[in-house]
């Protein structure tokens, strides 16, 4: 990174109403002498000044006077209209450089909060909100008297005719109709139809949310308990998927271009136990393992105290065994590359 010149430092400090006294500048960690708008002289570092740290005398806990507050505010080319000041939370009337009149406190001003109109954070009128939402083809149904601020939840219809709830603060950031984005809670009938398309039958009588386990029967009449989230992500009947070779693991190994001769490779651990790795490359002493979330109890998908209905062990135990296995192989000197999958 190119070293900054003393003229650059001087100009940047001047923009904040401060004055650089030092005649030399070495680097961002070296001390420089500065004078604040009130006239206090102190030493600091350029990186500290950049981070917003200012005069340590001004920042002391001693109660500030109205004269002091006024002088600081005016050093930023603002005008203080208030004639009374009690403490840092007293509401002050201020005029910014662009002649916008607004209310603030000394606590907010000293922390860098300035004119809300200039920053675009001022309270928007209902008319403004309505016009700016409806220009996207939306229709606002909420009445004017029910609007308070940009966080008020408004009811309306999107350009596709979906009933939706909108907040201006969200809408202005690009967050639109939840149904169009596929985030609206699915109905029981929707879940049932989606599962049916996969040649499975939903036996559950109700649907609560995407994390709740469902009772599902596969086309081989096996009963299993996926959540809707897991099912839509590809998780299917564990009995049907039981085999010495996982299809998902083979797809993953194909993507890594692991030759077939290195797959289903026998590994001998330091304690004399032998197990079959998904793949092992002797050239770089690397073991490749693909861990199915259901079989290895991934904590992001299964509660640790719940029992895996197939192997009759808790998901927590399965996960610990998996992590222990990884650590043991690494301690034996193997390099480990692994992937979590459905």
- Of the ranges 33-42, 120-129, 290-299, 322-331, which one carries the lowest mean pLDDT score? 120-129
pLDDT band at 59 (very low <50, low <70, confident <90, very high): low
**pLDDT > 90? residue 266:** no
pLDDT (0 to 100) of residue 233: 76
266 vs 269: CA distance, rounded Å: 10
Q: Is residue 79 scored above 90 in pLDDT? A: yes
81 pLDDT higher than 90 = yes
Which has the closest alpha carbon to 218: 243, 235, 206, 230? 235
Q: Is the pLDDT of residue 61 over 70?
A: no
What is the reported pLDDT for 138? Answer: 92
What is the pLDDT at residue 275? Answer: 79
Residues of 128-157 as b/e, b for ≥16 C-beta within 10 angstroms? ebbeebeeeebebebeeeebeebeeebebb
User: CA quadruple 159, 160, 166, 170: dihedral positive or negative?
Assistant: negative
Where do the domains of the chain lie? Answer: 6-50, 66-119, 126-171, 185-238, 243-342
Q: What percent of the chain has pLDDT over 70?
A: 93
Q: Which residues contact 202 (CB under 8 A, 6 or more apart)?
A: 191, 192, 195, 196, 214, 215, 216
Mean pLDDT for the stretch of residues 170-194: 82
**Long-range contact set of residues 134-142: C-beta below 8 Å, sequence gap at least 24:** 136/176, 138/166, 140/166
Q: What is the pLDDT of residue 93?
A: 93
pTM, full prediction: 0.32
Give the pLDDT band (50/70/90) at residue 202: very high
Average pLDDT over residues 262-267: 82
How would you class 216 by CB atoms within 10 Å of its CB: exposed for 0-12, middle for 13-18, buried for 19 or more?
buried
């Amino acid at each position: 990174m190119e070293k900054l010149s003393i003229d650059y430092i001087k100009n940047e400090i001047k923009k904040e109403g401060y004055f650089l006294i030092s005649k030399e500048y070495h680097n961002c960690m070296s001390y420089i002498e500065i004078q604040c708008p009130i006239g206090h002289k102190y030493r600091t570092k350029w990186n500290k000044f950049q981070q917003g740290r200012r005069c340590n005398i001004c920042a002391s806990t001693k109660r500030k006077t109205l004269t002091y507050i006024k002088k600081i505010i005016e050093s930023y080319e603002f005008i203080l209209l208030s004639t009374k000041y009690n403490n840092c939370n007293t509401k002050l009337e201020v005029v910014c450089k662009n002649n916008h009149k607004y209310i603030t406190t000394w606590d907010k001003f000293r922390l860098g909060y300035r004119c809300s109109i200039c920053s675009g954070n001022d309270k928007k009128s209902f008319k403004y909100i309505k016009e700016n939402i409806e220009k996207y083809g939306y229709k606002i149904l909420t009445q004017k008297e029910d609007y308070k601020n940009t966080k008020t939840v408004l009811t309306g219809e999107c350009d596709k005719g979906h009933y939706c709830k909108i907040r201006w603060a969200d809408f202005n950031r690009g967050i639109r109709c939840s149904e169009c984005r596929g985030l609206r809670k699915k109905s029981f009938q929707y879940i049932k139809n989606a599962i049916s398309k996969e040649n499975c039958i939903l036996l559950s009588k109700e649907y609560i949310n995407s994390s709740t386990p469902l009772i599902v029967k596969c086309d081989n009449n096996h009963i299993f308990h996926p959540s809707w989230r897991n099912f839509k992500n590809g998780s299917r009947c564990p009995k049907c998927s039981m085999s010495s070779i996982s299809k998902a693991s083979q797809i993953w190994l194909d993507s890594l271009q692991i030759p077939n001769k290195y797959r289903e490779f026998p590994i001998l651990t330091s304690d004399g136990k032998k197990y079959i790795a998904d793949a092992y490359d002797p050239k770089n002493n690397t073991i490749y393992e693909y861990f199915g979330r259901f079989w290895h109890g991934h904590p992001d998908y299964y509660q640790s105290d719940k029992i895996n209905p197939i192997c009759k062990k808790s998901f927590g135990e399965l996960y610990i065994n998996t992590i222990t296995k990884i650590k043991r192989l690494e301690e034996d000197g193997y390099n480990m590359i692994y992937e979590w999958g459905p």
